[in-house]
Amino acid sequence: MIQLFKMAFRDLGRNRRRSFFSALAVGMGLALLLLVAAFIQGEFSSTIDSTIRLQSGHLQVRAKSYDESKTSLKWEDLIENPDQVAAQVASLAPVKVSTPRLYASGFVSTVDESSGVRIFGIDPQSAANDPYRDGMVSGSFLTADDREGLLIGQTLADKLGLKIGDQISLSVNTSNGDVDEQPFTIRGIYSTQIGGFDGITVFLPLAKAQTITQTENHASTIFVLLKDNAQTDAVVVALQSPDYQVLSWQKMNEIILQTETMANSYISLMYLIVLAITASVIINTLIMSVYERTREIGILSAIGMKGSRILGLFLAESSLLAVGGVILGLILGGLAIAYFTKYGFSIANMGVTGILIGNTIYTQLTMKDTVTLTIMTFVVTLLAGLYPAVMASRMEPVEALRAEK
């Protein structure tokens, strides 16, 4: 076996440039696969993390009849005494933070423009709002007793040309189906680095949101963050009640999870295409080698080398190309992933909406993807050498010896 690899290494060295570029093709294929896998993993991990922190939490407690798509403000669809319910949820050991939130829809209007928004009524002191607090671009965060101020996102502020201290008109749907319009002062401008969120979300203190929507002492949901994501199902079971519905982050983000599954299916097809192109390069390289060494193969057969050993010789060559290509791929892919892990890839101007994808995507490569794609590339490269190896092993010695040099 060692002798076969020595011969294979020598044969590859006869045309070093061709061998190098063949291995490089394998390496570039693997590097591309690793980079794509890292982008997909980074995007969905970031999206799920952002959605949990900013919008869904690990779970939410809602009234049985509440329909999020309708943003209902009817009292029978809301949670009564939300502070009391939030305190009960917070008493569970796995719960990190539990806070009531009120959701409403409306319009922000200036002298010249207007824009549809979602209103989040929040408890400003809750740690659940740290992502918004930490993302303050200018101004100050809300206080619980503020009745005239609100927060807007950087994207919305840029769109409407607003700054700290400006007055705007906020029109909000109320619990009885009417629309209430009141003036507000912009206290602060925040940025979550997610344009789709920052462009439509306005924050009010919970008490003020309840007043303007005429939903006093009611909330749309109890927003819950856990100490450990793995405890989600256990907490959902513990909170089951005939009066409320308890939704996990998986249930609330089914579209994202389905999108991830669908994307992985399409990416798998892309993997096959890239590997097929890589395999064609290896097949071409080894077939050229077979034709160039026809007389040599005939001599080896004439002196007694069996077809199985000739087969093993060419498979050894393809395995050496695979090893070299894998090493190059890990180096090239590692460098590219390291760059995008640090600097990311900006999609701020691509108009991505609907799910909470950040303005910049950072790569995230898992050990599972690394091992899987490396093995896949090695095996495909090895199999690509099978046809040229079989072709060489089946050559008739007499015909091979008659071949011209």
pLDDT digits (tens, 9 = 90+) for 20-46: 888 899 999 999 999 999 998 888 888
Residue 285 has pLDDT above 50, yes or no: yes
Determine the pLDDT at residue 351: 46
> What is the residue-wise DSSP string for 196-255?
HHHTTEEEEEHHHHHHHTT-TTEESEEEEEES-GGGHHHHHHHT-BTTEEEEEHHHHTHH
Determine the pLDDT at residue 239: 92
Give Cα separations from 89 to 222, 248, 257, 258 (angstroms).
Answer: 9, 14, 26, 29
Helix (H) and strand (E) counts in the chain: 15, 14
Determine the pLDDT at residue 28: 93
Separation between Cα atoms, residue 72 and residue 50, nearest integer Å = 24
* Mean pLDDT (whole number) for 328-339: 95
What are the structure tokens assigned to 186, written together?
A: 């912009």
Determine the pLDDT at residue 313: 81
Span between the terminal Cα atoms of the chain, in Å: 28
Separation between Cα atoms, residue 8 and residue 158, nearest integer Å = 64
Residue 350 has pLDDT above 60, yes or no: no
Contacts of 393 (CB under 8 A, 6+ apart): 307, 308, 310, 311, 314
State pLDDT tens for residues 207-242: 999 999 999 999 999 999 999 989 999 999 999 988
Determine the pLDDT at residue 355: 63
The percentage of residues in the chain with a pLDDT greater than 70, rounded to a whole number, is 93
Separation between Cα atoms, residue 112 and residue 162, nearest integer Å = 12
Work out the number of other CB atoms within 10 angstroms of the CB of residue 307: 15
SS3 195: helix
Q: Distance from CA of residue 247 to its chain's centroid?
A: 22
Determine the pLDDT at residue 375: 94
Q: How does residue 244 score in pLDDT terms, banded at 50, 70 and 90?
A: very high
Determine the pLDDT at residue 246: 94
Separation between Cα atoms, residue 26 and residue 278, nearest integer Å = 6
Q: How does residue 17 score in pLDDT terms, banded at 50, 70 and 90?
A: confident
Of residues 354 and 138, more confidence is placed in: 138
Determine the pLDDT at residue 212: 94
Determine the pLDDT at residue 243: 86
The percentage of residues in the chain with a pLDDT greater than 90, rounded to a whole number, is 54
Among candidates 362, 334, 329, which has minimal Cα distance to 346?
362
Among candidates 362, 365, 358, which has minimal Cα distance to 345?
362
* Mean pLDDT (whole number) for 163-172: 94
SS3 for 256-295 is: HHHHHHHHHHHHHHHHHHHHHHHHHHHHHHHHHHHHHCHH
> Which pairing describes strands 167-173 and 179-190: parallel, antiparallel, or unpaired?
antiparallel
Give Cα separations from 309 to 7, 12, 178, 306, 312 (angstroms).
Answer: 11, 17, 86, 5, 5
Is the pTM here over 0.85, yes or no?
no
Separation between Cα atoms, residue 305 and residue 381, nearest integer Å = 25
Determine the pLDDT at residue 352: 47
Determine the pLDDT at residue 245: 93
* Mean pLDDT (whole number) for 286-297: 74
Determine the pLDDT at residue 331: 96
Mean pLDDT of the chain: 87
Separation between Cα atoms, residue 166 and residue 186, nearest integer Å = 6
Work out the number of other CB atoms within 10 angstroms of the CB of residue 322: 24
Between 43-52, 146-155, 305-314, the lowest mean confidence (pLDDT) is in 305-314
Separation between Cα atoms, residue 334 and residue 352, nearest integer Å = 28
Q: How does residue 137 score in pLDDT terms, banded at 50, 70 and 90?
A: very high
Determine the pLDDT at residue 361: 84
Apex CA 164: angle with CA 162 and CA 168, to 5°?
55
Of residues 20 and 302, more confidence is placed in: 20
Of residues 127 and 177, more confidence is placed in: 127
